[in-house]
Amino acid sequence: MDERLTCPYCQGGELLAKFGIKLAELDHSELILFKEQSHPGRVIVACKDHVREIAELSDADRNDFMADVVKVSRAISKAFGPAKMNYGMYSDKLHHLHVHMVPKYEDGFEWGGVFAMNPEKTFLTDEEYKEMGDKILAALS
């Protein structure tokens, strides 16, 4: 079976809505607001192409994808002022290249440790997600 058929990043819709909200298409990726917001401003940058590993990209495509990651990192820093940004590229079960971008705040949740993939502690209202998304998008400009 073609794994793209069950990939939330490729299919979007309800599969993606279980954990994220698409904010924007970037040059080489999609920007997704992670619904669990224990780390305010947490997002995912997912490659537009369905590739399993960063090593599958050409050097040029890898550089372009990582340029999107850097652009988003700068926007999150501008919008929320974290003390540190953590990056996670895990996909043991979901075979689509994506980067979890997790802003960390001194004396905040999980400061000084590894972030949990989904601590299931902090969810927002639709209005709060929209405000956060708008803030991120404004900082991208």
Kindly report the CATH number assigned to the domain that includes residue 62.
Answer: 3.30.428.10
Residue 91: per-residue pLDDT: 77
27 vs 4: which has the higher pLDDT = 27
Residue 79: per-residue pLDDT: 98
* pLDDT above 90: residue 141: no
Mean pLDDT, residues 1-6 taken together: 82
Mean pLDDT, residues 117-140 taken together: 95
Q: Which two tokens stand for residue 81?
A: 């002022």
Q: What is the mean pLDDT of the chain?
A: 95
Q: Round to whole Å and give the CA distance between 15 and 140.
A: 26
| Helices and strands counted in the chain (H then E) | 4, 5
Determine contact, residues 50/10, Cβ cutoff 8 Å.
yes
Mean pLDDT, residues 17-39 taken together: 97
* pLDDT above 70: residue 119: yes
Nearest Cα to 82, choosing from 116, 39, 122, 114? Answer: 39
Determine contact, residues 65/47, Cβ cutoff 8 Å.
yes
Mean pLDDT, residues 97-120 taken together: 92
Is 37 exposed, middle or buried (CB count within 10 Å of its CB: 0-12, 13-18, 19+)?
middle
Residue 37 belongs to what domain range?
3-140
Mean pLDDT, residues 115-122 taken together: 89
Work out how many domains the chain is built from and give that number.
Answer: 1
Q: Round to whole Å and give the CA distance between 32 and 93.
A: 19
